[in-house]
Amino acid sequence: MEQNNTYYFRRVSQEDLEGVYTLLSTGLDEVERKYFPCTIEEVQIILNSNKDYAYVITDDCPSNFLAYGHMRTFNGKYETPALGIMVSRYFRGLHLGKILCNYMLCDIYAMGYKDVMLKVNNQNRQALQLYLDLGFVMYNWDSDFICMKKKF
């Protein structure tokens, strides 16, 4: 029997910090944590900013966080926002990264930004392909990361 899943998107609020902490601490393995160094302290800084935003995907249980993303301008210091996206290792293969990225790109476009950038671990081929499919182009790389940019 086919299962229908409903997902919900929202910006992170102060009430979400415990759930975000759980997602960031259990949703990534040790190697992935090295390449996605977002901490609960950084999420708190994002929430206290008026120009940076954090997002989550939940299922029917509002406290069950499946994926997390953030858009950072470092409180307006940079004109081009930087994206960070992670999907819990327990919920991969459901296209949540693509869904969350599209949701965030629409929000960023609606805020009036002209482009967006991100950095992806060059070993994360699935994420790299996702970003290429969404229209990002590579503009810089080193032995660990590929920098990508998308214009609206």
pLDDT of residue 35: 66
Quick count: other Cβ atoms within 10 Å of Cβ 9?
A: 16
> What percentage of residues in the chain have a pLDDT greater than 70?
95
> Does some domain include residue 27?
yes
Q: Give the chain's largest Cα–Cα span.
A: 51
Query: Dihedral of CA 17/66/37/25: which sign?
Result: positive
Rounded to 5°, angle at Cα 136 from 134 and 138? 145
- Residue numbers of the domain that contains 32: 8-151
Quick count: other Cβ atoms within 10 Å of Cβ 97?
A: 22
Distance CA 16, CA 83 (A): 19
Amino acid code (one letter) for 27: G
Confidence of residue 40 (pLDDT cuts 50, 70, 90): confident
> Does some domain include residue 1?
no
Mean pLDDT of 10-28: 88
Quick count: other Cβ atoms within 10 Å of Cβ 2?
A: 3
User: What pLDDT, in 10s, does the model give residues 105-117?
Assistant: 999 999 999 999 9
> Does some domain include residue 106?
yes
- Average per-residue pLDDT in the chain? 89
Residue whose C-alpha is closest to residue 84's, from 29, 7, 9, 148: 148
User: What pLDDT, in 10s, does the model give residues 121-142?
Assistant: 888 899 999 999 999 999 999 9
Beta bridge partners of 9: 57
> Does some domain include residue 142?
yes
CB 106 within 8 A of CB 71: no
Rounded to 5°, angle at Cα 69 from 79 and 80? 10
Residue 38 maps to which CATH number? Answer: 3.40.630.30
Task: Tell me how many domains the chain contains.
Answer: 1
> Does some domain include residue 2?
no
